[in-house]
Amino acid sequence: MPLQLTEDVSHATNGNGDHNGSNGHVDVTVSAAAKLREMLNDPNGFVFAPGVYDGLSARTALEVGFDCLYMTGAGTSASKLGTADLGLCTQTDMIEHATMIANLDRSVPVIADMDTGYGGPIMVSRTVEAYARAGIAGFHIEDQVLQKRCGHLGGKEVVPLDEYLARIRAAVEARERIGSDIVIMARTDALQPLGYDDAIHRLKEAQKLGVDVLFLEGLRSKEEMRNAVADLAPMPTLMNLIEHGATPTVSHDEAKEMGFKVMILSLASVAPAYVGIRDALVKLKKTGLMGTPSEITPKKIFEVCGLNDFTDLDGRAGGGSFGEDRTA
């Protein structure tokens, strides 16, 4: 399905320039997938999506004003299971997480990790259908073996090309069967085990099957980044930036200048959350107090998580259940 959009997209806000939560007045007449396609079609556009790993991190990214989010698989594994990114999240884990994040604000597209698709072609098809029903705007699916690992760890293994392309065919066929706009991003982890030329070949073969974006994971130098964009042109390409990972750190502007169309930052909220939580708990253990800034009240956290939207909804319905709770 080529990257085309035939409908107008309006991005709803709450009147203060902030994104509404799931209970605000959100225009969802055009799907998040269609909006992501519009962003990809814009000749000057650049999709910049921070990784979010749970409801609070997603709500915080929405509060800051990002217009696209990325549901990180590594962050999902860490937050939902408390485990390293070693392929332990199941299809059910990922669908549940994706559904929650995508529906916090349906006017903001969410790109989601789909790992390997969680099985053979039938399972891939079912996963695509579930992500589309959940409201996910786009996803990437990769060629690692089922017992996969984070793309920035060593020792990765990939399936034979035919098996990878079967996953891609199943994803494209599922999208067509259900009439969805969901954006399919073909990812390869073949760079580490097989080399650059094989990785590019895999993505070009995936392109022939109808994917929308190409994603070469684990790029090792700025020269390799530029070469990948050029070798895969004119297809849109995605960069996954993990600071201190396998890929050199580049800025939003530098990635755009290189020609990438999408940039995801998988650990954008995971790493700061670990640092902040650990620092606070170390201080608590030593002093008995966390030293939270005075403006971070319970009410502030609840507002980030939709307090005003929920109380407005209750009031409009005549419930009156919350009384003065919103100003407490």
288 plus 204 within the same structural domain: no
pLDDT for position 284: 94
* pLDDT, averaged in runs of 10, over the chain (328 residues): 40 37 48 96 96 96 97 93 90 96 96 96 97 97 86 82 98 97 96 95 98 95 96 97 85 95 94 94 93 90 90 86 60
Expressed in angstroms, the distance from the first to the final Cα of the chain is 51
Shared domain for 167 and 239, answered yes or no, is yes
Same domain, 286 and 193: no
Does residue 78 sit in the same domain as residue 197?
yes
The model's pLDDT over 238-247, given as tens digits with 9 standing for 90+, comes to: 999 988 878 8
State residue 323's pLDDT score.
63
Radius of gyration of the chain (CA): 20
The reply to whether 264 falls in a domain is yes
pTM of this prediction? 0.87
168 lies in the same domain as 241: yes
My answer on whether 288 and 234 are in the same domain is no
Do both 63 and 151 map to the same domain?
A: yes
How many domains in the chain?
A: 2
| 261: number of Cβ within 10 Å | 21
88: domain CATH number?
3.20.20.60
Cα→Cα distances 66→18, 63, 105, 191, Å: 10, 8, 12, 30
Asked whether 189 and 217 are in contact (CB, 8 A), the reply is: yes
Q: Which residues are catalytic?
A: 70, 85, 113, 115, 140, 142, 150, 187, 217, 240
What is the spatial distance between Cα 66 and Cα 69, in angstroms, rounded to a whole number?
A: 7
Range of the domain at 139: 31-275
